[in-house]
Structure formats: structure tokens, C-alpha cells
A and B are shown apart, each in its own frame.
Chain A
Amino acid sequence: MTPLTFRLARLLDARGWAAFAAIAVAAAMVVPLLNTALPAGHPLRLPDYMVPLLGKYVCYAILALALDLCWGYAGILSLGHGAFFALGGYCMGMYLMRQIGTRGVYGHPVLPDFMVFLNWKELPAYWYGFDMFWYALLMVVLVPGALAFVFGFLAFRSRVTGVYLSIITQALTFAMMLGFFRNNFGFGGNNGLTDFKELLGFDVQARSTRIGLYVASVLALALAFLACRFVVTSKLGRVMLALRDAESRVRFLGYSVTSAKLFAFTLSAMLAGVAGALYVPQVGIINPSEFSPANSIEVAIWVAVGGRGTLVGAVLGAFLVNFAKTWLTGAAPEVWLFFLGALFIGVTLFLPRGLAGLAGQWRAGLGAAFRRRPGAVEARDA
């Protein structure tokens, strides 16, 4: 085995790989089967609307994973990750807009409806190329990645850390939101991009496309998880953990704190972009409210609830909090924000390491109890 394949094989231990494979296959298979194989009216049949809803959660889980990589490991609390998510989403949205072609309300062969409405005569240069899927995919990672790289370079080089960094990431996403709300930005103003028709020739409303998108999201989540594991189990991952504990010591050891942080932040932004790109065709719209600062704060809450610095916890937190949100905003909409606030306070006070930490404690406690029982008598004698 080459060193690299050896590293890949050791990303998880044997039980970890088994659990990972079981969950990934189950998530990718069970939902489509429950949706299509069971007859209508069957009690276990998954209603059609649930497929894109679950797909949306999976995208949120990728976003949470991305934030956990830079917050939980490198200690960079970004409260602007919604911006990278939205940028990835806009890149995908631009592709989907170009696919509408003459089927828009105004039937213009090149210009999206909102541009015709604004009386624009030609396509802005930054829309070029988005009719090609590969180009759009490239932009989905490059645009958020480039923004994170430039922003991160300036911030980390000037040694902006902690709460100051969090505040300027909030400012970043807020500024982006204000920009994207403007019609002359060329991204559809406050309506954003919507009324999508086709993705790679498949009808985005069709059940089969939605299942395909869901499965693609699950695969992306699985790959993103493995990619993050690769980073955090590497020496670079240990440098990240180290700089979270004692940044100046890392510097005195000769490592560049700036480049380690920049790597984590940029990779994380790229993952967030992928999540946004998968999210947009499933929800059918992208608009500037995705940039709203509150969205980014919510992501941090998912990660905190699940347990930061564990990767698994981030995914878990994203699913649990969003299930709760869907349920509560339906059952008692006015309670949701109070619930979210209470959840955050509760987790901070009682579960500083989140649900994943709780599971670890419980397992350790249980293990200790098992060990203690047979040895208890000898221990007292000794």
C-alpha cells in the first residue's frame, strides 16, 4: 500500500468504517425506496415533499461540517459561512437561469426574465460561461474559495482572532446581503433567482430529479465528511488543534499560523459553496436573504448543539435542529426563536461539548461502570 492509500484506509477505525458505510448506504437507499417503491396511501410511504426537505437538511449538514472544520478544529468562529453557502447557491442558480432559455415569461433566448424587465440589452460579462454546467460547478467552489482566501489572508495576516474575527465575518455577510439586494448587481435583486426549469436536461420539479438530487447530496455529504476526516487526522489537523490551544507556541515552533488557518477557512468555504449549490435546485430559489447574518449564526448553533470538533456532531446537530425547526415553525411558529435561543443557552451551560460530547461521556461512564463492578472489591482491599 502506498502511504496515501494507507492514510485513506485509516481515516476511520474498523467500526467507524462499518458505521459510516451503513449510514451512507441507508441514507441514500431508504429514502428513495420509501418514496417510490411503496404504494400511495401506505403508512410508511414517504410523501413527495419530504424528499427535497430531507435533501435540504443534508445540504445544511454539509454546511455544518464545513463550519466545524474551521471552528471546531482551527478555532476560527466564522459567523459568515452563510455567505459562502449563498455564493455557491448563486453560482448554481445562474446556471439554472441560463437553462431556462426561451421558456421564460419574456421568452428572451439569452437574458433571464429579470434582466429583460430591467431593460438590460445584453448579458453582463460575469454571467458568461454559466450556461455550461462544468463552468458553473467550477465557480461553485472557486468563488467562495477565492473570497475566503482573500478575506482570510487579510484577517489572519493581521492576526485578527476570536470575537473580532467573528464580528467582521458577520459584517462580510451583511455587506454581501445589501449588495445582492440591489437590482444593478445583476443577480435579480430581492427576488433572487427562481423559476428554474431544467438541470442537465432533467426537469427540476420531477420526482426522479429530486431523488437524484437527494442522493447526490448524500454522496456529497459522505465525501465531505471523509475529506474533513483526512484533514483533521493529518499533521495539519494537529497543527490546527494546537493553534487553537496556543497560537504563539505554534508560531515559535516555526509553523505559519496564517497558512494553516487560511487552508482551513478556504477549504471550509468551498465545502459551504458545494452545499449551497446542492441546496438551490432542491428548494427552487436563491435570494439575498440567504446572506442574512442570522442564518450564519444559526449554523454555529447547529454545530454547538451537535458538539464542535467532532465532525459527526456537526452533522447530527444540523439534522436535529432543522427537524425541530420544521416541526416547531409548523406547530407553534412564534415559539421557534425562543426555542433556538434557549437551546443555545442550554447547550452552552450544560453541554459545552454538545451531544457528541454527551455520547462520549455516557460511553466513558458506562465503560467505567462495567470495569468498576468486577474490580470493586479488590480496589477497596488495595
Chain B
Amino acid sequence: MPDANRSTAASAAVEDRQLYLDGVTVSFDGFKALNDLSLVVAKGELRSIIGPNGAGKTTLMDVVTGKTRPDSGRAFFAGDVDLTRLDEAAIATLGIGRKFQKPTVFENLSVFENLELALSGPRGAWATLFAQLAPPEAERIDAMLERIGLEDRRAVPAGALSHGQKQWLEIGMLLMQEPQLLLLDEPVAGMTDRETEETAKLVLSLAGQHTVVVVEHDMEFVRALGARVTVLHEGRVLAEGSIDHVQNDPRVVEVYLGR
């Protein structure tokens, strides 16, 4: 595995930090979804985040993508950009891509058109009204179709894809934007074993080029990724380390098995 296990992220120098959450607290009606959470992810790292339901995994993603504003604490991107001051579109433009838990692709558009919308380029109403697809852009889309294994489904409406294929299309859409940081929220939920295997290969191929944070329940998948694991519990980091390390941590065992 590249760097993931070797460098302890916490000690990374500021310029090597892709994502740095500092004392983030989010509460909903008194319930603390995130409780003074601090976390560092280094550039190019592949990181898995696990934790029982309600541990704050999705809220963590919401804070990073600007969907939720924390009550206190800050979230820094690529060193010193404060994400808590930006809106969703601005954060997306910075280079943070998020894959939702439920696959959200544009069901009425073809697979090709889904990727086309994800292409980087001008986003304004006028610019898109007169936009033309340049040949190099079409080639990029073709290359992505091949990478996510959907080249023979390009003209199919995305709504007609299988569940797994939708997840890959969504990952492909994120990759079209060449994000620095990719957030994957349960990418293998509801997938068949084979699809899960394929997805693990795809995610592993991303590490190094992109910083990838995966939130997942599926232990087999997390093991297959072989990445550094952060365990969340009640809005805090409970443990961090290799998958074997955290699985043998008595506190983790208690949280997962003691209920």
C-alpha cells in the first residue's frame, strides 16, 4: 500500500494535509452528531472510516462538503482553505467530490450525458447554453466509460442501470472533475460480491492520484482496501490504525459487539 500505513497522518506537515478537521461539533436538537472531532487525512492517502449507526460518519461528510455548518470547530482543505465558510458549489469547484450513500445519478440522462455534465468547464447558464463538446472532452468521457466498465452502456438512460453500475457511474462522474479529495459514502452498499470486488479494484486504482475517504460498513471491503482505518463512535474518533489493529482494540470490540 502506498504511504497509507507508513506515515502517521497526524504528524503530517501542514502542506501535506489534504483534510484537517479541528474540534468540529455539530448538534441537532441537543444531540451531538459530531463531538469535538479532530481528524487529519494526508494528501494521496486512502482512508476508511467505520463506526456503528449514528457515529457521525455521514455528518462528517456533510461538514466537509458544506451541506452542514458546524456549531464550532473548523475544517481545512489543502492546508489552509476553511471549508466552513464556503457553500456546496464553491467546495465542489475547489476539488472535493462526494459520492452519496444512495446512488444519485441523473436517471433521465444517458450514461454519456451524465459524465458530460460532470466534465470540468464553465458552469454558468449562458456558457452552458452555447457549450459544445470538444473532441478531447469526448475522448476523456470515452476513457472514463472504459475505466468504470460502462463503455457498452453509454447511450442507455442511467435509470436503466443496475445498482452497482449506478455506483460506478457516480464514481466516474466524480472522477471527471479530477477531484483532489474524493468522499465515498458506503460505495458497496447493496452490491453483489462480484460488484464489491470490482469496486475495491476501482477504489485502489484511485489511491495516490486522489485522496480518498471511504465510509463503509462492509468489513470485507474495508479489509480488501487495506487502508488506514478510523473508527468513529458517538461523534468522536475511538481508534485509528490498520484494520487488524482496530479490530483487536477492546473499545472497538465493545462498541461493535457490546450492543
Contact = CB atoms under 8 A, between A and B. Distances in A.
A230 B130 CA distance: 9
B89 interface: yes
Contacts of A250: 117
B125 A253 contact: no
A249 B100 contact: yes
B105 interface: yes
A254 B65 CA distance: 11
B93 interface: yes
A232 to B, nearest CB: 11
Interface residues of B, number: 30
A242 B117 CA distance: 9
B155 to A, nearest CB: 14
Interface in A233-280: 234-236, 238-239, 241-242, 244-246, 248-256, 259-260, 262-263
Interface in B172-205: 173, 177
A248 B97 CA distance: 13
A65 to B, nearest CB: 18
A368 B131 CA distance: 36
B171 to A, nearest CB: 13
Contact of A254 (B108, B109, B177): B177
Given A234-B130, A236-B128, A239-B128, A253 B108 contact: no
A255 B97 CA distance: 13
Contact of A235 (B106, B107, B131): B131
B92 interface: yes
A246 to B, nearest CB: 4
B125 A236 contact: yes
Given A235-B116, A255-B123, A260-B125, A4 B106 contact: no
A248 B93 CA distance: 14
Contacts of B123: 254-256
B148 interface: no
A136 B11 CA distance: 70
18 contacts: A231-B129, A236-B128, A238-B117, A239-B117, A241-B108, A241-B109, A242-B114, A242-B117, A245-B106, A245-B108, A249-B105, A250-B117, A251-B88, A255-B89, A255-B128, A256-B89, A256-B124, A263-B125
Interface of B: 65, 67, 88-89, 92-93, 97-98, 100, 104-109, 113-114, 116-118, 123-125, 128-132, 173, 177
Interface of A: 3-4, 7, 230-231, 234-236, 238-239, 241-242, 244-246, 248-256, 259-260, 262-263
